[in-house]
Structure 1
Amino acid sequence: MLKFQETVKHVSGSAPISTCSETLIARRYVLQQKLGRGSFGTVYLVSDKKGKQGEELKVLKEISVGDLKPNETVEANLEAQLLSKLNHPAIVKFYSSFVERESFCIITEYCEGRDLDCKIQEYKESGKIFTENEIIEWFIQLLLGVNYMHERRILHRDLKTKNIFLKNNLLKIGDFGVSRLLMGSCDLATTFIGTPYYMSPEALKHQGYNTKSDIWSLGCILYEMCCMDHAFTGHNFLSIVLKIVEGNTPTLPDRYPSKLNTVLHSMLNKNPSLRPSAAEILKIPYIDEQLENVKCKFTNVALKDKTFNCQKEAAHIINAVHFESYSNLPDQCFLLHVLICKIDELVNNLYVTFVCRSAIQKLGAEVFEKVYHYLKKAREQNASEDEIQECLEKVVSRASDCFEVDQLLYFEEQLHALAEDAPVHNVQIENPFLAG
């Protein structure tokens, strides 16, 4: 097989698939055209020879990993496999990843509507604005996606309009985890890639990054959808940073409901502990009412048009993402289910190990043990986030440094769930980490 970089030379920015139909990447992906270049590498449109009907087109992101150590590449692959398990209509599907010579390749869902930043610029140039209904629907879709991630102890770390994609006029969050894959536990705030328009005050002040930092970024995106401009602007990097850290909170134009403006202000509170979580925002009466309207709209559309391209996504949004149960699997699917359970258990087990190691390196063994046992008990007792943060700050200088421990506990829960499910199918699953 040709080296990836050599293969790419045969494909121009708009080369048709026929010009390289014999050239495969990883024995299944045919390069069609170059879509662009981002901070982490080059993006290509590819055709998947083994893809399901109607899902052949995918996106391949080629990232140079020449500087990564072998163990870092393994960890990146493990995290990529975990990201591929995420299944939500407001999140770009992460199919797989692999190393092709000196490139780390990520395969994701293709969104034909480009990114939200392109959409905003297109509207600005033509003097148009999004309707209030469009903004509310999109905002709720993003909230559902962010809530789904945060429930699974996953941070995005780089939410911005360039990382929000459109497919069938639905918004999908993409490119999350990429910064984590390439920078380990390093906060995105320490890299200062590009402009800081969406970065939270605490990230800019190097005070850590947690779920509330993602909420800040989502607030900036909401403002931009409403006003067609950034929430915090300036002539240079420093002036933007000063406005974010010390400036006044921006307000929406009068054409928008005051209740939406109140939600925005809560998301852009400079104190992260005072910002609501995605789950709390979804429970705000005004947002909850809008959520019901969105459900009704998608239900009606799906009923009227059986061939509607978004029918599957609509069903997911209506149900706020329900997962199918394996309890009534037919006999012919039994062995496949057992195999999937075992693979999931192995992947989660490996991830638990390296997250544990990373947390111990960051906190030290003694502090890690204290934080681990406290968080485990606090989660079992459903303690409030404020209470948890207050207690953690008595043990560590920054509560956000304990996020990996929280993530570790979540994956341990997943392993327990697999272990409880396995005996039903007579599968013995052992977890060496939990056994200790």
Structure 2
Amino acid sequence: MSVILDCNSIDISELKENLTMEYKNDNAGIELLLAHLNIEDIISAVEILYPCEESSPGASFGDGLSQEDMDENEETADSLTLEGTPVLDSVRYGAVSHLLSFVNLISNTPPASLKHLTEEIGVLLNKTDMAIKEGRYRIDVDVFLFPWKLTYRSPGSGHVPKGSFGKVHLAQDTKTRKRMACKLIPLEHFRPADVEIQARFRHENIAELYGALLWDRTIHLFMEAGEGGSVLEKLESCGPMREFEIIWVTKQVLRGLEYLHSHNIIHHDIKPSNIVLMSAKAVLVDFGLTVQMTEDQYTPRDLRGTEMYMSPEVVLCRGHNTKADIYSLGTTIIHMQTGSPPWVRRYPRSAYPSYLYIIHKLAPPLEDIAEDCSVTMRSFLERALEKNPRLRSSAAELLRDEAINPPREDQPRCWSLDSALGEGSHPLLRQHSQLPDTTQDSSLYSCEDSAHVRSLYVDLGALAGYYNIVRGPPSSEYG
């Protein structure tokens, strides 16, 4: 620091001599210098050169800014801080509490404050597989996003339509090669509820959330990848599922529901598109409508769920509990059996645009159960679709049901591409070895080719890794 001194009060030659002395150590030098200086003279000199002017009424350090501007700046500064640490300036690793604080701050921050961001901001929970570089996790540089295209081909149709649980892409970290799902939500449509339950509650059958970041006015939610696609996509590409497949999926879903319900959480939207298939398990996704009850039942202000899968008590809007998810699972099983949601075949959409009245008056849809349904599975469905929620079985009770616990020799086995790759004689492996390297048509095989192929969930990430089907950076317009 430079200091201007009063030459009349201080002997300049003496000061110069002292300042140019070479001291054996810094502390001794400072002490000796202070001993030769008159501090009062220094203060007096500073007061003469920089007189303190009395502040006029209303004057402040922020001169030139209106009071409204200052208040707005103060409010914005507060909203851009997470537990005393700036968070809206980079991407960083954090705990669940940091992630939840981040998404709440994003929701409460005025959009104008987020409009001109030049870098990604966010919190990542996965420190092992997501490599942050100097506070950056750049889309299409540090992580690639690929259009989500399944390898099923629907007989007589083109590509499988995308799932209904959001604009989801297959993501891959460029350093660790970790494959993930990335759900893109426009900032104006984002709600903390989209993240909260999935971040706070961890279970094998709930898609694990890896982190969230904001870029280009879009929230990117990174989570565990269900590279086999959703149950809905499988149904639309290969038709009705066989009972051993249905048993396997149902048991996976019930495990996830048992965990959620033990914490008084209602998912509110159990349906084929919200059940995602992986190599060795199925997981629940889309928690935007999820509610954690604080009382014995939840009374909503609006309808929550998807019409054809709603329980009668949800339609009635007078209060419901976790048993509503069990009814929705029952309707989902009917969809897996027949390839169509309940009610639709008997009451076409063209004649009945809304099914709410039908559900209220005619539930449960036992007539829609598949004709070839086994006796044990029909009994299971009757328990799950019981109209009176008090009499309806819980997830824990249904997990012990005979229908989903067949004899060991009849245990369901669902193939994944990872297991198929280990069997060199498998027809799928021979078929893929002759495929052209292209991304134009990701429908790699027909469901009519073999019985094994019809029941196969294809791991798209494994395909990309083993056969290099996806090449180059993704398109700027995601499919």
Tell me, yes or no, if the aligned pair for 1:197 and 1:240 is still in contact at 8 Å: yes
Question: 1:29-428 maps to which residues of 2 (within 5 A)?
Answer: 29-33=143-147, 42-49=167-174, 51=176, 56-66=178-188, 73=192, 78-83=196-201, 86-88=202-204, 90-100=205-215, 102-124=217-239, 129-168=240-279, 170-175=281-286, 177-180=287-290, 190-191=302-303, 196-233=307-344, 234-236=347-349, 239-249=354-364, 250-251=366-367, 252-284=369-401, 286-287=402-403, 289-290=405-406
* Native 8 Å contact 2:244 2:412 kept in 1: no
Q: What's the secondary structure of 2:188's corresponding residue?
A: coil
Q: Distance in 2 between matches of 1:166 and 1:58?
A: 13
Cα 1:64/1:188, change in 2 over 3 Å: farther
Q: Does the Cα contact within 8 Å between 1:224 and 1:230 map onto a contact in 2? A: yes
Q: Note the residue ranges of structure 2 that are not aligned, 5 or more in a row.
A: 1-89, 91-113, 121-135, 150-160, 292-296, 424-479
Deviation at 1:205, TM superposition (A): 1.4
Q: Which has the larger radius of gyration?
A: 2
Whole-angstrom CA distance in 1 between matches of 2:219 and 2:254: 30
The change in CA–CA distance for 1:143 and 1:23 in structure 2 (over 3 A counts) is closer
Hey, what does 1:325 align to over in structure 2?
A: none
Cα distance in 2 for partners of 1:37, 1:48 equals: 23
Q: What SS does the aligned partner of 2:168 have?
A: strand
Q: Tell me how far apart the structure 1 counterparts of residues 265 and 276 of structure 2 sit (CA, whole Å).
A: 19
TM-score, normalised via structure 2 length: 0.48
Identical amino acids, percent of aligned pairs: 25
Alignment partners' CA distance in 1, 2:138 and 2:168: 16
- Counterpart Cα distance in 1 of 2:165 and 2:228: 21
Give the C-alpha shift of residue 142 in structure 1: 1.7
Q: Which residue identity lines up with residue 288 of structure 2 in the other structure? A: V
SS at match of 2:309: coil
> Is contact 1:32-1:44 (8 Å) kept?
yes
Structure 1: tracts of 5 or more residues without a match: 9-21, 309-436
Give a deviation string over 1:72-96, Cα, whole Å, max 9, x none. Answer: 75x765545314xx131x3322222
Q: CA offsets per residue over residues 336-358 of structure 1, 9 Å max, x none?
A: xxxxxxxxxxxxxxxxxxxxxxx
Q: Which amino acid aligns with 2:171?
A: V
Q: Distance in 2 between matches of 1:117 and 1:67?
A: 24
Report the CA distance shift for 1:200/1:26 in structure 2 as closer, same or farther (over 3 A). Answer: farther
Determine the C-alpha separation between the residues in 2 that align with 1:67 and 1:224: 29
CA contact (8 A) 1:45 1:59 kept: yes
Structure 1 residue 162 displacement after superposition: 0.9
Cα displacement (A) at 1:50:
5.8
Taking only aligned residues, the RMSD between alpha carbons, in angstroms, comes to: 4.3
Structure 1 residue 270: Cα displacement: 1.7
Deviation at 1:27, TM superposition (A): 8.2
Describe the superposition over 1:218-267 as per-residue Cα deviations: whole angstroms up to 9, x where unpaired: 00111111122212223346552222111153243342222211211121
Query: How far apart are residue 23 of structure 1 and its match?
Result: 8.3
Higher relative contact order (CA 8 A, sep 6+): 2
